[in-house]
Structure 1
Amino acid sequence: MNNKFDIVIIGSGSGLMIMESALANGLRCALIEKSKFGGTCLTKGCIPSKMLVYPADIIREAQKSDRVGIEFCKPTIDWQKISARMWEQINYSIILEKNLKKNENLQVFNGTAEFTDRYTARVKLNDGGYSPEIQSKMFVIAAGARSLVPQIKNIEKTGYITSETFFGDDFPKKPWDSLIIVGGGAVSAEFAHIFSAFGTKVTIIEARPYIISTEEEEIRAFAEAEFKNNSIDVLPNSNIIDSKKSGTKKKLYVENTITNEITTVEADEILIASGIRPNSDTLHLENTDVKTDEKGWILTNEYLETTQSNVYALGDINGKYQFRHKANYEAEILIHNLFSNDTKKAAYYNAVPWAIFTHPQVAHVGITETQAKNLGKKYWVGKNYYSQIAGGVAMGITESSTDNGFVKIIVGEEKTILGAHIIGPHASILVQPFVYLMNANHKCHKQDIRKRNEISYPPLGSYMPINDSMIIHPSLNELTAWAISNINWAN
């Protein structure tokens, strides 16, 4: 076997995009993957989880259908069918792997990459032993991240699952009767929605004073109130001091950091969803010039270049937002820079969209009002509620509905959009136009296009294109568009 390659790619998530372009350009490639092919999103993240989220959404909608004059019997859950649809998506990785191994210009290694020198690596093979050393003048590290398991007394004896093991050997044969989720972020919020809708008693334990801490303060509070309305217990300000298994049940002993009161929470299973850590610790980067920060995230510049020449890092492992759409964006930047003769492109993160597929759905782009205030920005706020538009009223949402969600728009000087925050039906769709508008401002600025007196169009990144456009009526687009009319310019 020829062990010299034009490019070595570590990780088969967004790394596959680099691989495809490298092969299209006639390069000899090595691909190293320790797990299922397709990365976290395909095999243990955003795609399989949505196979569970959508049925949960339907259940929640059915529970509220009486407000529009439709009543359903209690839904029957076919867990086997739901599970089969999910596994069908995950198992696409098997087809993917088989097809990759048919390519004559690609050598696939099943195992964990370990650098032995600056441009030399070996693979700790999944079936035992090591591969011969492989060499390349170019490495792309897209090795991702994994669940961070906090230090909890006796937790290994007690037992727990993570999102990785859930979409693997620990997938339940039926929904649990009860579930404890440690952590209150996006993963926690989605799993809480899924299993509470399926009838599981869910308890969220969060060390911070609130859940989904990345969100606008009002949206955090709204989401937590709706969780409680859906019988999800939320325990903020909580420190887990011990754990124990008692028969078929698992117990966590939780201390409230405000009152010092200790309570016992018991459930069939414990899901750890308290954050992630980078997989850089498996790569033996000490044998290279690639540097990481204090938490292990690989340091990169705006061109995705690491501190070692011709070694690049993208996706979760560089610590700049852990989203597949962000990783895909970085892959496109890197493809352009590696395989094009055009001017190098830089990656920028001014308009990274977030979405949490919980119930109610949550999405945002840009900064929160608190962040705008802390940054000393001059800003104005506009809000609009679902109950204030015909589309929301048609869905049965009234001013007194507990799920009367809203959009909150934060604008700055020159009518620029600083942030858009939404909670309610289809939030992930409604936020996307603001991403386009905010990104337009960024492109204008970075290309150094100067504003001239004769220019008659509004500043790029402005909300004015929305303000000056026709809005389909009656549609949920009115929720976001009309929020601009509600901006309180007096404050």
Structure 2
Amino acid sequence: MKKTFDTIIIGFGKGGKTLAGDLANRGLKVALVEKSNKMYGGTCINVACIPTKSLENSANNVKNINSWNDAQIEYEKAIDKKETLITKLREANYNKLNSNDNVTIFTGMATFIDENTVEVKTENEVYELVSERIFINTGSKSFIPNIKGIENNKIVYNSESLMNLRTLPKKMTIIGAGFIGLEFAGIYSSFGTEVTILNSNNGILPNEDIEDSQEIIKLLEKRNVKIINNTKVKEIKEVSNLATVEYEINNELKEITSDIILVATGRKANTEGLGLENAGIELNERGFIKVSDTLKTNKEHIWAIGDINGGPQFTYISLDDYRIIINQLFGNKTRTTSNRKNIPNAIFISPAFSRVGLNVKQAKEKGYDVLVAKIPVDAIPRAKQIGKTDGFIKIVIDKNSNKILGASMICEDSSEIIHLIQLAVDLEVEYTYLRDRVYAHPTMTEALNDVLSPNMIKEV
């Protein structure tokens, strides 16, 4: 069955769904294609940001665990809570667009036939959708390295399948020490799981300042998380229903046994089955769709939004991709990816590690004379009041201009405070602007009065 639309959007993620609603409200007929009815709303809502942060919140509020049975009960409650949350969000996302007369939702696999035609195979029908304007928003998926035995899904999980596990593992081995691996280590260790991370690098988070990485390691070690660096995983074996990982370190073969394995070795472009070659769409060297700074592919009428275009893999970047497209289509055409300013990020390990702008290492590499303002969290009244005193706040300043270059924070509410620092960096204000603000008391934010005081600022 052939149908013609003003726009086809492949993928129900943040950028795609927001774009679908906007274009439909402008009177355009939109076809929105999603492969799975479990993915309405996109990766973040269903298998990433929202469910993981729900589990993280539950894990950090666990109380009165006196036995493994207690831990198992609390974990099952957390899984149920997570499922209830994402089900409501998924339904709300679907209903919002399905109720729009200008949006038609197709649940099925989309494959390009040519650069203007997309075939969609639903459960009961095959459609040919035709449009002069197409947006690809299919995101990314877990990268699974070529390791012998890794295909055994009885003992090997990725970040998506793990969140459906209802039995709390007593022992877990995580392969990979990036954002995903560290967050899951924090979640499961808080429930009482004995977690070991096999890290192929010499340390974690190589782009961060050493003291930041060391503080994160210290936080995880307090929960009995063990990190083994410089490892090369050779084989995964199932022995008596347990998972055994054989790895090499310092030219010596070793083994570790656990209940399950989490593979957290990064993400790759979700292009499988799209038939991009049929539309002549080019990929970059990493396998993501190649785009211009206005998010157009090499085909003038086809765009790529979100993770699939190889940019920073954050939901809020997908949303900003939508803003760029709307500006290019209907605005003054000034928004591009190249004029994005400082992008904040956070690892939710309780307390969260949040960053924006330049850290000390990056600032020095760029030739700045660097000042650092730093305060331990246990010196902040609000932190003492709520009993969460781990970590520090660190702000990087250009000595010659007194402007804030960036910040690293490991503390309660850092994922909120970091946006104030982002604003200061974007506006290129001097550090005294934040130092001399009047903040509510008691709050974590008021620590900016103290951390930016003269006695806390040192040259490094």
Normalised TM-score (structure 1):
0.85
Match of 1:438 among 410, 425, 442: 425
Asked if structure 1 preserves the Cα contact closer than 8 Å seen for 2:355 and 2:418, the reply is: yes
Cα displacement (A) at 1:99: 5.4
Amino acid at match of 1:418: L
Asked if 1:282 corresponds to 2:273, the answer is: yes
Structure 2 alignment gaps of length 5 or more: none
- Structure 2 residue aligned with 1:109: 106
1:318 and 2:309 equivalent?
yes
1:141 paired to 2:136 = yes
1:410 aligns with 2:396: yes
Could you tell me which residue of structure 2 aligns to residue 266 of structure 1? 257
The answer to whether the Cα contact below 8 Å between 2:2 and 2:128 also exists between their aligned partners in 1 is: no
Farther-moved stretch of structure 1 (302-311 vs 425-434) = 302-311
Cα distance in 2 for residues equivalent to 1:308 and 1:461: 41
TM-fit CA distance, 1:287 = 2.3
Once residues 243 and 43 of structure 1 are traced to their aligned partners in structure 2, the CA distance between those partners, rounded to angstroms, is 28
Identity value in percent: 29
Query: Paired residue for 1:122?
Result: 119
Counterparts of residues 10-159 of structure 1 (less than 5 Å): 10-14=10-14, 15-35=16-36, 36-59=39-62, 74=66, 76=70, 77-92=73-88, 93-97=90-94, 100-125=97-122, 127=123, 131-157=126-152, 159=155
Task: Point out where structure 1 has 5 or more consecutive residues left out of the alignment.
Answer: 63-71, 398-402, 441-459
Q: Aligned partners of 1:73, 1:172: CA distance in 2, in Å?
A: 20
* 1: CA distance, partners of 2:322 / 2:429: 24
Are the structure 2 counterparts of residues 179 and 409 from structure 1 closer, same or farther at C-alpha, using a change threshold of 3 Å?
same
Q: Deviation digits for residues 75-110 of structure 1, max 9, x if unmatched?
A: 944333322211112213245435544544322222
Residue of structure 2 equivalent to 1:344: 334
SS, match of residue 466 in structure 1: helix
* Structure 1 residue identity aligned to 2:430: S
SS at match of 1:187: helix
Indicate whether 1:471 and 2:439 are aligned. Answer: yes
Cross-structure match for 2:409: 422
Question: Runs (4+) of structure 1 moved beyond 6 Å?
Answer: none
Question: Structure 1 residues 359 and 91 mapped into 2: Cα distance closer, same or farther (>3 Å)?
Answer: same
Q: Which residue of 2 aligns with 1:448?
A: none
Q: Residue 78 of structure 1: SS of its match in structure 2?
A: helix
- SS of the aligned residue for 1:91 comes to helix
The whole-number CA distance in structure 2 between the counterparts of 1:291 and 1:329 is 22
How far off its partner does 1:138 sit? Answer: 0.8
* Matching residue within 184, 206, 215 for 2:199: 206
- Structure 1 Cα separation of the partners of residues 148 and 331 of structure 2: 56
1:130-187 CA-partner distances (Å, limit 9, x unpaired): 73322111111111000001111122247411122224xxx22231111111111111
CA distance in 2, matches of 1:464, 1:303: 36
Label 1:489 to 1:206 Cα distance change in 2 as closer, same or farther (>3 A). Answer: closer
Match of 1:236 among 201, 226, 229: 229
Provide the aligned length of Structure 1 versus Structure 2.
448
- One-letter code of the match for 2:341? N
**Residue number in structure 1 paired with 2:344:** 353
Contact 2:346 2:354 in 1 (8 A): yes
Q: Does structure 1 conserve the Cα–Cα contact (< 8 Å) formed by 2:397 and 2:403?
A: yes
